[in-house]
Amino acid sequence: MRKLAMTVLITLMMVLPIASMGATIVHTDSVDGLTDLFATLTVPQFDGTYPLNSITIEANTWLDGAISFENMNTAATGGFNVTGNWFDGWLVLGGELNPGNWEIIGGETLFEYHDEGDPSGAIWLETYDGVLDYAGPSGTVFPYGTSHDWTMTITPDNPLVADFFGDGNVDFSCMTWIWTDMSIFGPVYSMEWNTTAGYDITVTYDFDSTVAIEASTFGGVKALFR
């Protein structure tokens, strides 16, 4: 009797589970101009499609300026005396700008600074050298400035996180200014006083993006009959 050999192949398929992957969305905004600086920075909100891990806010603010002075008196020395410099700035979540009263109304203050620059003391200059260039024996340029870097991380249990959810924008109110006390020596002079300032802000949304991965594997079981 002839023997019959039969092979039966049973196919098995395995599907790997869904994997959770981290991702980030980064938004930036910036402003710069002459002080006193009052401005609103704006970034988009997080739409909530995926679970949010955290929000990181990074800000950089700077203030740079100089007093340029020329003694225009041809018969006497002159100059000035700086007795104090104060540099102030604020970054507020939300809020309303009110430059007329030098303030931001409402909102949540995230960061502020008050720096006291070193006074220069008295700066004496020679009689006018005939060239209005704020240089030479009768002129000078007195620089000043400050800068700050600031970072804050907001987790989902922080009440501030609610401001960042939605399909609109998040507003940050910012301002910075300088106060300088100085006195002038001599009635004939030329002076320029210029100060610029700026804010850069970065908001990073860290969240879980869920991506389905279907990687199938195949295997066989063979049965032999005789």
Bridge partners of residue 202, in order along the sequence:
28, 58
Determine if the pTM surpasses 0.75. Answer: yes
Report residue 114 as tokens: 């008050």
Per-residue pLDDT of the chain (226 residues; tens, 9 = 90+): 444 444 444 444 444 444 456 799 999 999 999 999 999 999 999 999 899 999 999 999 999 999 999 999 999 999 999 999 999 999 999 999 999 999 999 999 999 999 998 888 999 999 999 999 999 999 999 999 999 999 999 999 999 999 999 999 999 999 999 999 999 999 999 999 999 999 999 999 999 987 433 433 334 333 333 3
Q: How far apart are CA 223 and CA 112, in angstroms?
A: 77
| Closest C-alpha among 135, 124, 59, 65 to residue 90 | 59
Contact 206, 50 (CB under 8 A): no
* Residue indicated by tokens 């039969």: 6
| Closest C-alpha among 192, 173, 195 to residue 102 | 173
Query: Which 8-state DSSP code applies to residue 47?
Result: -
Domain coordinates in residue numbering, the chain: 19-212
- Reduced to 3 states, what is the DSSP secondary structure of residue 126? coil
